[in-house]
Amino acid sequence: MTGGLPAGDLRILDMLTAPEVAVRLGCSVDKVRALAAAGELERVPFGSLVRVSPESVAAYELRQAGGASAPQGGSSQ
């Protein structure tokens, strides 16, 4: 039995606001907006709202921690 919101609408409940991301990353909301504008965080529009996917925040955290591989093409000699 499913009640409440349709499945497609449940996705917005998983999304994070800029202030929520700022708390998680320990930075300002302006920094979160700059990261999203630079493509470091995935911006997901919902009508007039913009949210950030928790997956993109986790991926950003991994990159910052050095958990992601470096971009290809750099010299490592």
Identify the CATH number of the domain in which residue 38 sits. 1.10.10
Domain hosting residue 48, numbered range: 11-64
pLDDT in tens, 20-37: 999 999 999 999 999 999
Residue 40 resides in a domain:
yes
Residue 73 resides in a domain:
no
pTM: 0.70
List of long-range contacts for 21-24, beta carbons under 8 Å, 24+ apart: 21/52, 21/57, 24/57
Residue 45 resides in a domain:
yes
- In this prediction, residue 72 carries a pLDDT of 47
**8 Å CB contact between 63 and 57:** no
Residue 77 resides in a domain:
no
User: By mean pLDDT, which of 18-22, 58-62, 68-72 is the weakest?
Assistant: 68-72
Residue 72 resides in a domain:
no
Residue 71 resides in a domain:
no
Considering its fold, how many domains does the chain have in total?
1
